[in-house]
Amino acid sequence: MQVPRNWRLQKQRYSLIGEVCEHCGVKLFPPRDVCPECSHGAQTLYQFTGMGNIHSFSQVFDPPNGHIENTPFIVALIQLEEGPMVTAQLTDIDIEHVEIGMEVEMVTRKMSDDGTEGMIIYGYKFRPPIVD
Amino acid sequence: MTIDNREPDLQAMKPDIPVGIVGYGAYIPRYRLPAEDIAKLWVGPSNRVPVTEKSVAGIDEDVVTMSIEAARNVLARADVNPIDIGAVWVGSESHPYAVKPTSTIVAEAIGAVPNTQAADWQFACKAGTEAIQASTGFVGSGMTKYALAIGMDTAQGRPGDALEYTAGAGGAAFLLGTAEESVATIEGSFSFVTDTPDFWRRQNAKYPQHSKRFTGEPAYFKHIAECAEQLMHALGTKPTDYAYAIFHQPNSKFPQQVAKVLGFTTEQIATGLLAADVGNVYAGSALLGLTAVLDVAQTGDRILLVSFGSGAGSDAFDLSVNDRLSLCQTLAPTTKDYIERRTVIDYATYARYRGKLALI
Amino acid sequence: MTGSTNIYVSGTGCTKVGEHWGTSLRHLAWEAVNLALLSSNTKKPDAIFVGNMLSSSLSQQLNVGALVADFCGFRGTEAITVEAAGASGAAALRQAILAIRSGEINTALVVGVEKMTDAVGPDVTTAIAGGADSDWELAHGLTAPAIAALIMRRYMYEHSVPTDGLSGFSVNAHKNASTNSYAMFRNLISNEQYSRGAMVSSPVNVFDSAPDADGAAALVITSSDRELVEGRSIQIAASNLTTDSLAIHDREDLLTFSAAQTSARYAYDQAGIDANDIDVAEIYDRFGVYAAMSLEACGFADWGSGWEMAQNGSVGLQGSLPISTFGGLKARGNPGGATGVYQIVEIAQQLAGTAKDNQVSDVKWALAQCLGSNGGTAVTHILNVVG
């Protein structure tokens, strides 16, 4: 398990903190420091609301390492309400109920772990809102 | 040396600066395991199960993730910048790490780091109310402006043990601040603690053990009753002064019995009695009852809260509801919202989600 | 193409694609190199470019360039590994072309080699998934099929593709592979079998998905006019490599392989032709939806209609644009970083007229396009017959 590498991304993964370009106003997630729209520096931190809708989704049956016990799991492209597209797992929902366009909200969950003795990696997933 | 046998000074604990709950938030996972399912598997009497069903954490949930969600619900109700939170204290008996705090992860996730206190509390089912008492002292002494106290568990029950019917998952978080900006003022609290071995889990054991009927009278009933009576005595209150009373709820029966002993009516405890629907959520048990009450309480209502932790002890609190409560009740999902969000699972799914199947 | 040096394919070779449990990375490479050198009658290349994707993660082997040079008897020769995920082999060819064009060398040996079966199971799935954005895709459990599935579901949704509407690519690929002796899957499949395929990452099922396999392919390319077969010189008329975002969530349009589109346009310009002139194409059909989107990107079909070419038979050996003529990634097999070199070996055979049962008639211009990182890298080559 690559501890420093995951530690470095905690802020973004736990809370969906990205960046905003002060020059053209575009919101960036994942953070990339340089605005892809206007090429100006964009390092001002921005807290996303975590609300978005499903652009596409898939149920994964053949997992990579760190995700085996959670298989099958659902992954999705989420269009955040501020604009950016995010790739993440869905949680608290069964595949039969997932639809393109449905509203979801961000929650922080266990993303993966390194066995029972290793680090647990936490990060964002999305689920249907608790309250409509 | 002779023992000093004088009676202790039975004053309620009160901070110098009045303290109250500035924000609160519940969390209950989505999954439910009916007690009948367990009774079927282990051939128990299905007509005498201690709860209807219990809440079960999903495969990607633990005390960290559940605490984060409850804390976010707190912040949705309290108009507070997380950088002003001076302590993040999480009480649980199911911290995901034996060494490495739950609290730092929660503090990081809600944006309270780095200038904050962070620690994990452990005292069986009363670890959360301990964190509230400590937070009361921390804020009430002026050492910090706000302190976040969480009681949260994904309780463990050995397959086939009586505990398995009830060992649920859930809890609540509370932000303590000055009484003047609070939704409910803490009028006083009281603790009652003895060395009573009713329930324990050794350092490297996966499941706890308990001393069966010994967990009742000398443990649960004695500590809760003494603690509640002494707090009411110290504050000069009586059961009829309270709109609501909440007692630790390892099952549905115990809290009803202790309420009766103390002179509380069924109506007073109904709102905060959730064991039938979620089971025993351990460090979150009494606290989840409190969030259910705060979701509906009105200005001027007085609330009695008494926790119980094995080992053993109780913390009792007297709270009075302020005007501000009505403004924040709907700013985050209510306890009822979480209870009604339920998906029933079978024992096999439960066994998988809770790591009861050995894959290696 | 830009500049003045003409470059020819003077030799080709490849191994059977499959699970070579008993053969190591270096032995696989040597087998293909040996065949290419024999067919080219070249004694020694000036430099060796090795396309490889996974040896560092699956075989704990870096510097495959030097390893292959040494093992094939060229100790001392300039050699380097080129890695661009699934497009590694095509990118190695691109680098070899640049080297010849620079005037530093005249003859290059291009090798694509992949040894998937040094590990098995999730280790391989994980290594391959590293072709996408590791921090923001793989970390969330996204595998290569999962990324294709996200694209496929959206493609079918936006373009109103019927269920199983992408099946034609797999059926065609298996049909063509059935007569290819080095293909991994030589069985025919029907639409019904496709429909019953077990899900890998819904809606991608096993029949949508190319098998990850071992294999090696090699080319000798040279600035001297050398015939590949008697009377036919095969010229590299265009070469281009273009990139896009690695992560699909950063793409301007999820349903356009914009790197593939740009790369194809540049390639047509270099060759002085357009899409209509292409007689045969080896495209990146790792997943049915990638084949459809590649056809659109290369200008063979309108945006959103690439899938229809497989359903109406246009992509068959007798169709208007034959693709995957030896089975493609889907049925010949997908040996990762070797795939891009296999594609060139295959279109060279089509141009030389040596494709036997898989021969497309009257091939003058052929295109090979290889993608890495789900379209994050696109490499396009166009070859034609001279003489």
Could you read off the pLDDT of C175-234 as tens digits, one per residue?
Answer: 999 999 999 999 999 999 999 999 999 999 999 999 999 999 999 999 987 888 888 999
Domain of B255: which CATH number?
3.40.47.10
Per-residue DSSP letter, B114: S
Return left, alpha or beta for B107; rule: phi > 0 is left, psi -120 to 50 is alpha, else beta. alpha
CA atoms of B312 and B306, how far apart (whole Å): 13
Q: Report chain C's mean pLDDT, rounded to a whole number.
A: 96
CA atoms of A29 and A40, how far apart (whole Å): 16
CA atoms of B75 and B174, how far apart (whole Å): 9
Regarding whether B45 and B57 lie in a shared domain, the answer is yes
Helix or strand holding residue B53 (H, E) = strand B53-56
> How far is CA C319 from each of CA B360, C166, C172, C281, C360, rounded to the nearest angstrom?
53, 17, 11, 12, 9
B-chain residues near A11 (CB < 8 A): 108
Regarding whether B317 and B250 lie in a shared domain, the answer is yes
User: DSSP alpha helices (H): ranges in B216-322?
Assistant: 222-235, 253-262, 266-270, 275-278, 285-294
Chain A touches chain B, with at least 3 Cβ pairs below 8 Å, answer yes
**Are the beta carbons of C203 and A36 separated by less than 8 Å?**
no
Shortest alpha-carbon distance between residue A129 and chain B (Å): 10
CA B195 remoteness from chain centre = 21
Does residue B105 lie in a domain region?
A: yes
Regarding whether B169 and B31 lie in a shared domain, the answer is yes
Nearest to A65 among C122, C137, C248 (CB): C122
Degrees, nearest 5: CA angle B123-B135-B228: 60
Shortest alpha-carbon distance between residue C123 and chain A (Å): 7
**Are the beta carbons of A120 and B30 separated by less than 8 Å?**
no
C-chain residues near A33 (CB < 8 A): none
Contact of A55 with chain C, judged by CB distance below 8 Å, is answered with: yes
Chain C residue with minimum CA distance to A64 = C126
CATH topology of domain A3-127: OB fold (Dihydrolipoamide Acetyltransferase, E2P) (2.40.50)
Shortest alpha-carbon distance between residue C119 and chain A (Å): 13
How many A×B Cβ pairs under 8 Å? Answer: 50
Does residue B133 lie in a domain region?
A: yes
Chain A residue with minimum CA distance to C125 = A64
Query: Tokens 């067919």 identify what position?
Result: C39
CA atoms of B198 and B200, how far apart (whole Å): 7
**Are the beta carbons of B68 and A69 separated by less than 8 Å?**
no
pLDDT for the residue numbered C41: 86
pLDDT for the residue numbered C1: 47
Q: What tens digit of pLDDT does each residue of C153-171 get? A: 999 999 999 999 999 999 9
Q: Where residue A97 falls among pLDDT bands split at 50, 70, 90?
A: very high
Regarding whether B307 and B203 lie in a shared domain, the answer is yes
**Are the beta carbons of A14 and B109 separated by less than 8 Å?**
yes
**Are the beta carbons of C141 and A75 separated by less than 8 Å?**
yes
Contact of A114 with chain B, judged by CB distance below 8 Å, is answered with: no
Taking the alpha carbons at both ends of chain C, their separation in whole angstroms is 18
- Is B53 a catalytic site residue? no
Length of chain C: 387
Q: Which two tokens stand for residue C65?
A: 């360039």
Strands C215-222, C8-14: parallel, antiparallel or unpaired by DSSP?
antiparallel
Which residues of chain B fall short of a pLDDT of 50?
Answer: none
Q: Which two tokens stand for residue A80?
A: 């955040």
pLDDT for the residue numbered B359: 58
- Is B340 a catalytic site residue? no
Domains of chain C: 8-120+212-228 (3.40.47.10)
Does residue B1 lie in a domain region?
A: no
Does residue B98 lie in a domain region?
A: yes
CA atoms of C105 and A76, how far apart (whole Å): 48
Regarding whether B297 and B313 lie in a shared domain, the answer is yes
A-chain residues near B109 (CB < 8 A): 14-15, 108, 122
pLDDT for the residue numbered B356: 84
Domain residues for B174?
A: 19-183+328-347
Does residue B96 lie in a domain region?
A: yes
CA atoms of B104 and B112, how far apart (whole Å): 9
CA atoms of C143 and C161, how far apart (whole Å): 24
Does residue B4 lie in a domain region?
A: no
Nearest to B65 among A10, A94, A109 (CB): A109
pLDDT for the residue numbered B160: 85
Q: Which of B69, B210, B248, B328 is catalytic?
A: B248
ipTM, two decimals, is 0.97
Nearest to C249 among A62, A86, A95 (CB): A86
CA atoms of C76 and C217, how far apart (whole Å): 22
Contact of C120 with chain A, judged by CB distance below 8 Å, is answered with: no
Chain A residue with minimum CA distance to B56 = A92
- Is B93 a catalytic site residue? yes
Residue C338 in this model has a pLDDT that exceeds 90: yes
Regarding whether B189 and B130 lie in a shared domain, the answer is no
Q: Which chains touch C (3 or more CB pairs under 8 A)?
A: A
Q: Which two tokens stand for residue C240?
A: 């281009």
C74 in Cβ contact with C48 (< 8 Å): yes
Regarding whether B332 and B311 lie in a shared domain, the answer is no
Cβ neighbour number for residue B271 with a 10 Å cutoff: 21
Contact of A61 with chain C, judged by CB distance below 8 Å, is answered with: yes
Regarding whether B341 and B308 lie in a shared domain, the answer is no
Does residue B111 lie in a domain region?
A: yes
Cβ-in-10-Å burial (0-12, 13-18, 19+) of C196 comes to exposed
Shortest alpha-carbon distance between residue A36 and chain C (Å): 10
CA atoms of C289 and B32, how far apart (whole Å): 40
Regarding whether B334 and B276 lie in a shared domain, the answer is no
Contact of A26 with chain C, judged by CB distance below 8 Å, is answered with: no
Contact of A128 with chain C, judged by CB distance below 8 Å, is answered with: no
B349 in Cβ contact with B58 (< 8 Å): no
Average pLDDT over residues C365-372: 98
Does residue B53 lie in a domain region?
A: yes
CA atoms of C326 and C177, how far apart (whole Å): 5
B-chain residues near A14 (CB < 8 A): 68, 105, 108-109
B122 in Cβ contact with B92 (< 8 Å): yes
CA atoms of C76 and B324, how far apart (whole Å): 81
CA atoms of B251 and B274, how far apart (whole Å): 9
Regarding whether B235 and B146 lie in a shared domain, the answer is no
Regarding whether B150 and B70 lie in a shared domain, the answer is yes
pLDDT for the residue numbered C166: 97
Regarding whether B29 and B175 lie in a shared domain, the answer is yes
CA atoms of A101 and A52, how far apart (whole Å): 9
pLDDT for the residue numbered A37: 87
**Are the beta carbons of A69 and B359 separated by less than 8 Å?**
yes
CA atoms of A76 and A104, how far apart (whole Å): 11
When divided into structural domains, chain B yields a total of 2
Chain B residue with minimum CA distance to A15 = B109
Average pLDDT over residues A55-81: 96
A-chain residues near B331 (CB < 8 A): none
A-chain residues near B359 (CB < 8 A): 69
